[in-house]
């Protein structure tokens, strides 16, 4: 057992990738089953066809989104690059009015961009590594969806009959809870995306629709996703006016308090049946142990642990109360 645990620790990244793939396969399977029930005349898609339809639809939507969103953004970026020397001088003059930043020069503003240019190779390597892991996750998830039932039965066959039946019932309860997590997370993503579109639109931030979509999708990763999306929105707004950037930051600060203190604990309690304190602890622990990926899977993992703890710790130690003496005497 110690050797096995040591090997698992050495291959922790691979084990985590397999676990995340299996978890998302459980979550996505209901959508696959809905597509399988579709009929076009006498033809209806099988499991592989349903997977291909969902993946193709997702890729098509992403391509259409970027086809309409990226061209105007690239056009404005070219204009910004051409006008950057003049803007850097204006920015330096504005910063000189701040007492702490009087010694700042236009040359010092250009140094970070020079450093970024030197790190392009490292950034490309990181992107290539992330792309490799993403496509590996995609393939593993597809295999779990296509052959998950057989793998599930094989795992159960490793246990005695009575133990296997109890484990099967427990895993099915875990499956139901994990699927409800997607409903709750989807609600949080929709709320943040819609509010971002409303606020960014009222502030007249450029490409507010793109930023709102990015905010909604990024909210699937708790804490880190919203921070990244709002940071991007603040940078885009800051190119027009610093007051817009301040407005974006104020919006995120207020929304973060509401989401962390009210929305997330209550939505996840209703979907995952986890108390608010457990939700906060799970998010913090997952982020510390595995970073962004850990925060992403923290809540469904907490729900799985809760189901196993209830089945094998709580119910195993339940003691049947003795009958009252009066009821015993009547017998």
Query: What is the per-residue pLDDT for 12?
Result: 80
Query: What is the per-residue pLDDT for 192?
Result: 92
Domain ranges of the chain: 162-316
For 27, 31, 56, 295, 296, the CA distances from 46, given in Å and listed in that order, are: 18, 13, 15, 34, 30
Query: What is the per-residue pLDDT for 198?
Result: 93
Query: What is the per-residue pLDDT for 199?
Result: 92
Profile the chain (331 residues) by mean pLDDT over runs of 10 residues: 85 85 85 78 76 80 71 62 61 59 52 47 58 80 83 87 88 88 87 92 86 86 79 82 87 89 82 80 82 83 90 70 48 50
Q: What is the DSSP string of 236-262?
A: HHHHH-HHHHHHHHHHHHHHHHHIIII
β-bridge mates for residue 43, sequence order? 40
β-bridge mates for residue 40, sequence order? 43
Neighbouring residues of 46: CB distance < 8 A, sequence distance ≥ 6: 36
Query: What φ, ψ does residue 166 adopt, rounded to 5°?
Result: -65, -40
Q: What is the pTM of this model?
A: 0.70
- Return the biggest CA–CA distance within the chain: 98
Query: What is the per-residue pLDDT for 211?
Result: 86
């Amino acid at each position: 057992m110690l050797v096995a645990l040591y090997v698992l620790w050495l291959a922790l990244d691979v084990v985590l990738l397999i676990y995340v793939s299996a978890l998302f396969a459980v979550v996505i399977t209901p959508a696959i089953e809905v597509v399988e029930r579709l009929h076009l005349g006498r033809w209806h898609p099988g499991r592989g066809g349903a997977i291909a339809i969902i993946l193709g639809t997702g890729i098509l939507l992403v391509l259409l989104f970027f086809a309409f969103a990226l061209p105007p953004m690239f056009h404005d970026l070219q204009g910004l690059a051409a006008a950057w020397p003049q803007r850097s001088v204006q920015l330096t003059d504005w910063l000189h009015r701040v007492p702490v930043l009087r010694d700042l020069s236009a040359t010092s503003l250009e140094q970070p961009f020079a450093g970024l240019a030197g790190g392009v190779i490292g950034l490309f390597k990181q992107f290539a590594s992330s792309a490799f892991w993403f496509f590996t996750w995609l393939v593993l998830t597809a295999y779990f969806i296509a052959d998950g039932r057989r793998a599930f039965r094989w795992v159960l066959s490793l246990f005695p009959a009575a133990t296997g039946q109890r484990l099967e019932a427990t895993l099915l309860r875990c499956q139901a809870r994990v699927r409800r997590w997607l409903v709750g997370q989807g609600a949080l993503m929709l709320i943040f995306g819609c509010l971002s579109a409303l606020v960014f639109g009222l502030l007249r931030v450029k490409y507010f629709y793109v930023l709102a979509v990015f905010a909604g999708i990024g909210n699937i990763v708790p804490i880190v996703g919203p921070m990244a999306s709002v940071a991007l929105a603040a940078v885009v707004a800051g190119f027009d006016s610093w007051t817009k950037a301040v407005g974006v930051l104020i919006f995120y600060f207020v929304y973060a308090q509401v989401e962390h203190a009210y929305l997330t604990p209550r939505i996840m309690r209703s979907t995952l049946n986890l108390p608010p304190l457990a939700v906060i602890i799970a998010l913090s622990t997952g982020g510390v142990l595995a970073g962004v990926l850990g925060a992403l899977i923290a809540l469904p993992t907490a729900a799985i642990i809760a189901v196993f703890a209830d089945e094998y710790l709580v119910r195993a130690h339940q003691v049947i109360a003795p009958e009252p003496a009066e009821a015993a005497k009547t017998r």
